[in-house]
A and B are shown apart, each in its own frame.
Chain A
Amino acid sequence: MDKLLSIFRPSTGSRELRRQPLFTGMSWLVLLFLYAPIAVLVVFSFNDNRSVVRWTEFSLRWYAAALENDDIRRSAMISIQVALSATVFSTIIATMAALATTRGGVYRGRSAAIALINQPLMIPEIVTAIATLAFFSILRQLTGVTGIGWLILAHTVFCVPFAYMPIRARLSDMSVTYEAAAADLYATPWQTFRHVTLPLLMPGVMAGAMLAFVVSLDDVIITLLVAGPGETTLPIYILGQIRRGVTPEVNAVSTILIGLTVTMVTLTFFLQRKRK
């Protein structure tokens, strides 16, 4: 009713000016542009037909096929192994670094340290990938060590800045008064961290860990170059399948991955909103 009446009232200048009617339409179109392709992929993963465009009937057969596929199972296990390890390492490292850059006071080299931590974001991934491959090929030869550890190490490096961002944001939003109070009550720095800082920081740590997990799980380029034989992760398997041609099985696996990412990012989003 209010809305209906409002057209009879003279418009308030600022509302009129801030509104750009063209922009509204464009925003909805952009949203459509962002989601339509993914929606098509998801919908046709439930299609009971080999075709990925002609709808026949709802079916879960491609999910069943994907879950029974040994290659998919093996690569999923490797993906999870790498992503979980990289998440644990990078989150611990990022938490420590975030404490040092927010609670350590102002000191020389702090901004340089922050810049170095964010460095993996500033370099095109393909450059990081080949540089890591070159370095690892030397290290592999020198040490004679092979195995999945190298891949986990490479993932840990590029996961650190992603884990670092939400943890640091949470820490700089947190007041230091609780920690100061704990220190006044003769808590040692470790006790203060364990019983005061860490519990308060936990949502940030969880958010950081989930972002690291998602970023590691999604990586293609660095994995493609650094992974040794038999270390095929799920995205690398999917890439190989797409190169050979599109199959509904790939749609099903992709949908599972999308579902996982959406769940994690949604959780992160709400974890971060709660602090406000």
Chain B
Amino acid sequence: MGAAAHIARPDAATRLRAAQEVRARQRRRTRLFLLAPALGIIGIFGLFPLSIALVYSFLEPGTYGGVEWVFSYDAYVQFLFERDIFDDTLSFNSAYLQIFGRSFGLAITTMIGTLILGFPVAYFIAARPPEQRNFWLFAITLPFWTNLLIRTYSMLLIVRDEGFVNLMLMKLGLISEPLEMLYTDGAVLAGLVYSYLPFMILPIYASLEKFDFSLLEAGHDLYATRTQVFRHIIIPITRPGIVAGCVLVLIPALGAYITPELLGGGKKLMIGNLIALQFGSGRNWPFGAAAALILMAVVLIALLVSLRAGASKEGGHG
């Protein structure tokens, strides 16, 4: 009996180990089974197509859209130069650079605009008593879920020549003739700020949500002025939120399509319109793909810069 138990003991240990191994394998298999559809569908239909776009950007355009499978880097050359149809010489053409320049200008101005408008709101919400915060958060998030197209359209109704703003101003006798606001950069900017403002408010609010406002009092007790308290306490605390908000606004603003289309009236093209145009009536898929990849590269750079900006803060904090 005693001898049998002696023999059985190591056997039980190995059996236990074996059972644990089987369980671990099962867990891994379950995990893989659960993750496979998400990773598969996003990997194959979300990420992989980007490499197709890369391939397309090095091909020749088909006559009726699509591509000819002939290698060419014309799409990138076309970005800066114009090819003369007759003698094939290249001459510098800044038209596309200008579109990129305008897009960056508008996107960065949008970012600054949303920051100026959004920061006070985020701060205000965070300083509210908890039961009021929910109302404000809900009120700020709701427009974000509302159809972007419809919101842009509602903006168009407001800034048209016979729109609401002009009507009000004329009724008040401030102007006698309608101001021309639609189809200007200003209208596009207003539309972009209007569209992406919640993206700025929410992350800044998140960085302030857990903030202990009595720290301000501590600063005050140590003879810090209002401005000093703001600069040395509030700004460092909200920095990750500001960085996140800037990225969340910059990325969609750079690739905006609907806003410049409706409020810029096609005269004020942005990158997004340029890309879509190449895949539509422009029938130059390789050029559209190249423009999209250049946009993608800029977005990646912005993301990396923001990661560093966020990280340096963490370092300074510790």
Contacts and interface: CB of A to CB of B under 8 A. Distances in A.
Interface of A: 13-14, 17-20, 22-24, 26-27, 30-31, 33-38, 40-41, 44, 52-53, 92-94, 96-97, 99-101, 104-105, 107, 113, 116-117, 119-120, 122-135, 137-138, 153-154, 156-158, 160, 164, 189, 211, 214, 217-218, 220-221, 224-225, 235, 238-239, 242, 246, 250, 254, 257-258, 261-262, 264-266, 269, 273
B258 A221 contact: yes
Contact of A53 (B49, B142, B163, B299): B163
Interface size class of B (residues with CB under 8 A): 35 or more
Contacts of B89: none
Nearest to A214: B145
Given A117-B38, A119-B46, 18 more contacts: A17-B213, A23-B127, A30-B121, A40-B157, A41-B157, A96-B37, A97-B37, A116-B47, A122-B303, A125-B257, A127-B275, A129-B276, A130-B288, A131-B289, A164-B38, A238-B153, A254-B153, A261-B147
Contact of B43 (A44, A116, A273): A116
B124 A23 contact: yes
B134 interface: yes
A190 B164 CA distance: 59
Contacts of B292: 126-127, 130-131
Nearest to B134: A273
B125 A27 contact: yes
Given A14-B213, A36-B158, A220-B258, A27 B46 contact: no
B58 interface: no
Contacts of A130: 53, 275-276, 279, 288-289, 292
Given A27-B121, A122-B303, A131 B50 contact: yes
A99 B279 CA distance: 39
A100 B50 contact: no
Contacts of A99: 34
B194 A134 contact: no
B146 interface: yes
A17 B226 contact: yes
Contact of B197 (A34, A96, A119, A123): A34
A13 to B, nearest CB: 5
Interface stretch (B3-11, B12-20, B248-256): B248-256
The secondary structure that dominates the A interface is helix
B141 A265 contact: yes
Given A131-B49, A131-B50, A41 B150 contact: yes
Given A14-B216, A27-B125, A124-B299, A134 B49 contact: yes
Contact of B158 (A40, A97, A273): A40
B276 A27 contact: no
B45 A26 contact: no
Contacts of B226: 17
B120 A23 contact: yes
B146 A31 contact: no
B210 interface: no
A104 B146 contact: no
A126 B217 contact: no
A18 B220 CA distance: 11
A156 B41 contact: yes
B154 A126 contact: no
B183 interface: no
Contact of B127 (A19, A137, A157): A19
Contacts of B30: 100, 104, 189
B124 A221 contact: no
A99 B127 CA distance: 35
Given A41-B157, A122-B303, A218-B149, A160 B194 contact: no
11 contacts: A30-B117, A93-B41, A119-B46, A124-B252, A126-B255, A130-B288, A131-B53, A131-B292, A157-B45, A218-B149, A239-B258
Given A19-B127, A254-B150, A124 B255 contact: yes
Given A235-B149, A242-B153, A273-B134, A126 B52 contact: no
Interface in B129-177: 134, 136, 138-143, 145-151, 153-158, 160, 162-164, 167
